[in-house]
Structure formats: structure tokens, C-alpha cells
Amino acid sequence: MRKTLFKFHNYLALVAVIPLLLIVLTGSLLVFKFELDSVLMQEIVALDRQGETRLGFNELIPEINQNFPKYEIGSWEFFNEGDEADRVYLIKKGSEHWYKVHLDPYSGEALDAPVPLNDSLTDWLLELHYTFLLNDVFESMPHLGVILGLVFAVVLCALGVTGLIIYRKFWKKFFTLRWDKRMTAMIRSLHRLFGIWCSPVLLIIGLTGLYFNLIVYLEEVEEHADGGHYIVTERMYNDQIDFDALYIDSQTRMESFRPTFLLMPTEPGFSITFFGEISYANPFASQYSSTVTYAADSGEFQAIYDIRDAGIVSQSVDSFRELHFGNFGGLASKLIWCIAGLVMGFLAISGSYMWASRKLKTRKTSTLAVVEIGV
């Protein structure tokens, strides 16, 4: 049984080695997405506004609409710490294409022009990470990239599970590294040790990545089943709505609710929704765990979704975001996730090396046997 599982583990890794390398290496970089953006696009992404008061939505929304008349606001990610620019996501009128613009909410200044969602290096890496840049490449298979992402997320989980089963007595050698002068033996020992250490993270990343790709795929399929994305040609909300009042009101609807994201209506019948974080016992709760919704035509309160009242399944799913990106423990957890991703890259390379070494050894043995028979 163990031998069969070992072969399955080997062949599974060999078939998926290149995609898995892309996934884990890009993932390691994306753990520090904001930090990378702050270096590569410092004037656009980073702010130095700590302690200042940001402008209200009633002032910022008309400013954006005036500066970018060919676009409509689709969603808005905002930050109150003063060190990060807001990200406003725009839909180009008459199309289904989304764009992004960075905004200084303390001055109302747009820090760049609207750009496609994969324009920056880290956004391009993100698309490479979960679609391999294969979405919309083939007309007959517009979701090929997401589907492949799903498949390799399953492979990642399978490698983690089979690795733990193969080394099921891993606790006995959790800190044991067998030093050996032979390269192959040393790499095998490192592969086993690092695999033991990283299997829990590998499983977490694989399962949560599987979930995210599945959600993206199902949403896209549902949209296309209904005839494709709705084409925005006009404003889908009432210009007279007092968004500052909604922002303040949202914080009174649930205890400790702190808004972090504004979703505008992008189709008829959609609402204005504030997403936000909330204080409760789950250390992995996301920044978008709870919502408050308002009518798009009047601003009238409609409903709340309090994650604390949700079931264990909903609370667990909400935790997937923090667990996948490693944000739950600040710098420490991000470093662990980044290193784990790099180690997974080493596992892919070392596993391929060990397989090639075994094949070469088998071939040499077979050749030697043939020579001896001939003699």
C-alpha cells in the first residue's frame, strides 16, 4: 500500500511540477503584495497621512465621477490608517471591463489613471497565480485558466495528504535531518523533513485556493448562463444619496462593525453594500466578514449580515481569505507563508531530482546487467 501511494505521490508531482512551481513561487511573492507595490509604485500606492482626517464619500464620489466620466464606480476598497491609498474599481461604460484607480482620500486626488486590473506587476502575478494567464485565450474555453487552477489545487492537496500518509510517523523525525555526503541521500532527507514541516500549510493553501477558484468559476458560469455580464451604460444608484450618512449608519447596525469595502450596484435590482470586519472570537475572521445593505434608489436600510450569527461553515469559509494569504498573524504569519511557499518550490524541484536519479540508477543497473550477460 505504502509503495503504491509512494508511486502515486511521485507521478502526481511530476505531472504537475511546472504549474505547481508557478503557483507556489508567485504565491510566496503575493504574500507581500502591498509591500512590493509600495516599492514599485510608491507614489501611487503608499501614503503618509497618519493622523489626518480623510474626506467624506459625499465629496470623493462626485470627484471621481467628474474626473472619469466614461466610467462608473463598481466597488471601493478604503483604508483608514493613512499609509495606503484607496483602491477604486471602475467599470467602463458600454463594456464589461473593470479598471482600477488609486485615490488619496485625504486630498481627493486620483494618483493614477484607470488601468486594467492586471496592469501592475503584482496584479499580473496574481492572475498568473490562479489562471496561468489562460482565461479568455481560447474562445471555446474562456475559463480554462480557472479550471486548471482548480485541478492543480486538488493536486496540491493530494500531495499534502499522500506525503503525510507516506511519512505517517512523522512526529518521530520532526526535527531529524540525516546528514550524508551523497547528494541524492541529502536531498532525500531534506525533502522528507521540509515536506513534514510544510504539509499543514500546503493543505491549508491548497484547500482554500481550491475554494477561491471554484467560486470564481461558478460565478463566471452563472453570469454566462444568464447571457453574460450586464453592460453598464448609466449610473445604477441615486446621485442624491448621502453616502456619508450610510457609512455612519452602517457602524450603528452591528456592534464593533468597521466598514472596509463599498460595493456599488452594477446591475438593476442590486443594492449598495458596505462590507466590513467585526470583533469576535475567530482570530482568522476576514476584513469583509459582515455586511450592511441599502436600497440603491433611496438609501433606505435593507438588511445586515452578521458573521457572528452565521453557522460554523460560514465562519470557516470567511476565514479562508486570511488563511490563504497568511494575513492573520501580521508579519510573522506572512513570513511563515512566504517561506513555506518557497520550500514547496524546493520540494517540487528536489522531488523531480530524486525521480530522475532513481531512473538513471535503474537504467545503469539494467545496462550493466545486459553487459554481464553478454560477457
pLDDT value of residue 224: 65
pLDDT value of residue 222: 81
pLDDT value of residue 246: 99
> All 3 cell numbers of residue 337?
507563508
- In the numeric block, the cell 511573492 is attached to 29
- Residue 6, in any domain of the structure: no
- Residue 265, in any domain of the structure: yes
pLDDT value of residue 358: 78
Nearest to 72 by CA among 97, 55, 42: 97
pLDDT value of residue 186: 76
- Residue 321, in any domain of the structure: yes
Helices (H) and strands (E) in the chain, counts: 11, 9
- Residue 141, in any domain of the structure: no
- Type of residue at 10: N
313/319 Cα distance (integer angstroms): 10
The mean pLDDT values, 10 residues at a time, for the chain of 375 residues are: 81 88 95 96 96 97 98 98 97 96 98 96 96 92 93 90 74 56 75 80 91 92 74 96 99 98 97 97 95 98 97 95 93 94 90 82 58 51
350/341 Cα distance (integer angstroms): 14
- Residue 297, in any domain of the structure: yes
Q: How many domains does the chain have?
A: 1
pLDDT value of residue 371: 47
pLDDT value of residue 370: 46
14/288 Cα distance (integer angstroms): 38
pLDDT value of residue 227: 65
pLDDT value of residue 149: 94
Phi/psi for 98 (5° steps) reads -100, 150
- Residue 277, in any domain of the structure: yes
27/339 Cα distance (integer angstroms): 10
Nearest to 107 by CA among 52, 144, 55, 155: 55
pTM for this entry:
0.89
- Residue 150, in any domain of the structure: no
Range of the domain at 289: 243-325
- Residue 344, in any domain of the structure: no
